[in-house]
Amino acid sequence: MNAVELTVNGREVHLQLDPRTSLLDALREHLHLTGTKKGCDHGQCGACTVIVEGRRINSCLTLAVMHDGDHVTTIEGIGTPEKLHPIQQAFITHDGYQCGYCTPGQICSAVAMLDEIAAGVPSHVTQDLDEVEFSDAELRERMSGNICRCAAYPNIIAAIRDAAGKGKA
């Protein structure tokens, strides 16, 4: 067993974990934060997306011990029922979910993705590396690691645009 200290959603936690425990399993099984979903468990669907040190990652693909000392934000740390994050409110307004299974990962990814664009981090479709423009092509490319089996993609893009204050394309 290894000692692992994390700050999860602003709260310091101390865990004793088998070194083979994924960050996803540490969150779900040891901290009982079940908002983060185990979809494919192979890093292909994005249902397990969380934000670690400001960057979005697939928590099923990384070991918890690799993040000792890191700050982790899960869907439970994005907003509250009383004070929703703008992305959460926009997902409700634009029906950016169907069954809802992928929604926590979609929301965590969207929050971090908007920070990436604001910081000028380019993607594969960025045309001008000196100035990253907000566009549907950028949103689609950056959100492509989050799969929605219900195909709510137009609603998800509309929700992200709304939360970013960009309106319709």
pLDDT digits (tens, 9 = 90+) for 134-147: 999 999 999 999 99
- The tokens for 155 are 């609603």
Whether 160 and 111 have beta carbons less than 8 Å apart is answered as no
pLDDT tens digits, one per residue of 7-59: 999 999 999 999 999 999 999 999 999 999 999 999 999 999 999 999 999 99
Could you give the domains of the chain?
A: 2-77 (3.10.20.30), 86-163 (1.10.150.120)
Contacts of residue 164, defined as CB under 8 A and 6 or more positions apart, other chains included, come to 114, 134
Q: Is residue 62 exposed (0-12), middle (13-18) or buried (19+ Cβ within 10 Å)?
A: middle
Distance CA 38, CA 65 (A): 19
